[in-house]
């Protein structure tokens, strides 16, 4: 696969809380950093996302009496997994990992900042209606292809890839520059759904070949 001038690299949630030692650590989460740093200079456009919650966020188990982490609760927009407190605005956990190269970032999209709505996707919040503005930005820059990498393969990378595809982009997910949470089969579900939607699950080597 070639990287054309209409290809954006979407780097998802490479933040301290999703790396080992963090509040919602993804196994091997920090292993995505080196490959992402290596790839960044090859792309004509780079966009990063940052999960960015207020402490009172509705996706935190701690804000629901009698509920535990990973419980499911019904919300107006559907089922919501309850997470440990993570990526709280302005905290160390919400910062990008110190080894991630961000100096040349074109745009950083923050998501999940509304108290009542969680946001996995870089494009839409979990109500599937509220936008982050990213689609407008990319269309304005004439981007047609999106290459995704980061954390977590089965949540924010997955939702971002599916939305990008639905919005008309050609989408590739770099599996070896992403890592999964894998909560009760969520990785298999995500991979099957991405494949059946025409998203290309690829590798760094394939991208560079």
Active site positions, annotated: 13, 111, 156
- Answer yes or no whether residue 51 interacts with Zn ion by CB under 5 A: yes
Nearest residue (CB) to ligand VGL, 86 versus 145: 86
Q: Residue 60 touches which of Zn ion, ligand VGL, none (CB < 5 to 8 A by kind)?
A: none
- Residues near Zn ion (CB under 5 A), total: 2
Nearest residue (CB) to ligand VGL, 90 versus 141: 90
- Answer yes or no whether residue 51 interacts with ligand VGL by CB under 6 A: yes
**125, 130, 132, 137 alpha-carbon torsion, rounded to 10°:** 130
- Answer yes or no whether residue 11 interacts with ligand VGL by CB under 6 A: no
Nearest residue to the partner Zn ion, using Cβ: 51
- Answer yes or no whether residue 13 interacts with ligand VGL by CB under 6 A: yes
Phi, psi of 8 (to 5 degrees): -105, 140
Q: Which residue has the tokens 């927009």?
A: 77
Q: Residue 156 touches which of ligand VGL, Zn ion, none (CB < 5 to 8 A by kind)?
A: ligand VGL
Binding characters for ligand VGL, 149-178, by CB under 6 A (x = yes): --xx--xx----------------------
DSSP assignment of 119-174 equals: --SSSB-TTS-SB-SHHHHHHHTT--EEEEEEE-TTTHHHHHHHHHHHTT-EEEEE
Cβ contacts of 64 within 8 Å, gap of 6 or more = 71, 73, 82
For 55-92, give one letter per residue: b (16+ CB within 10 A) or e.
eebbbbbeeeeeeeeeeeeeeeeeebbbbbbbbbeebe
Q: Which residues bind Zn ion (CB under 5 A)?
A: 51, 112
Q: Which residues bind ligand VGL (CB under 6 A)?
A: 13, 18, 51, 83, 120, 151-152, 155-156
């Amino acid at each position: 696969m070639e990287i054309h001038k209409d290809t954006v690299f979407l780097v998802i949630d490479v933040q301290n809380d999703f790396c080992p030692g963090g509040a919602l650590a993804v196994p091997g989460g920090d292993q995505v950093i080196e490959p992402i740093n290596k790839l960044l200079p090859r792309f004509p456009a780079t966009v990063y996302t940052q999960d960015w919650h207020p402490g009172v966020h509705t996706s935190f188990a701690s804000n629901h009496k009698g509920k535990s982490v990973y419980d499911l609760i019904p919300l107006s927009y559907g089922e919501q997994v309850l997470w440990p407190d993570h990526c709280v605005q302005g905290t160390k956990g919400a910062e990008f990992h110190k080894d991630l190269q961000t100096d040349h970032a074109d745009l950083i999209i923050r998501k999940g900042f509304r108290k009542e709505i969680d946001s996995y996707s870089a494009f839409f919040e979990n109500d599937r209606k509220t936008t982050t503005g990213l689609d407008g930005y990319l269309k304005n820059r004439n981007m047609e292809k999106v290459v995704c990498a980061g954390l977590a393969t089965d949540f924010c990378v997955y939702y971002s890839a599916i939305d990008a595809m639905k919005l008309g982009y050609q989408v590739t997910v770099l599996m070896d520059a992403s890592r999964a949470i894998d909560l009760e089969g969520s990785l298999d579900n995500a991979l099957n759904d991405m494949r059946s939607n025409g998203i290309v699950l690829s590798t760094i080597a394939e991208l560079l070949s």
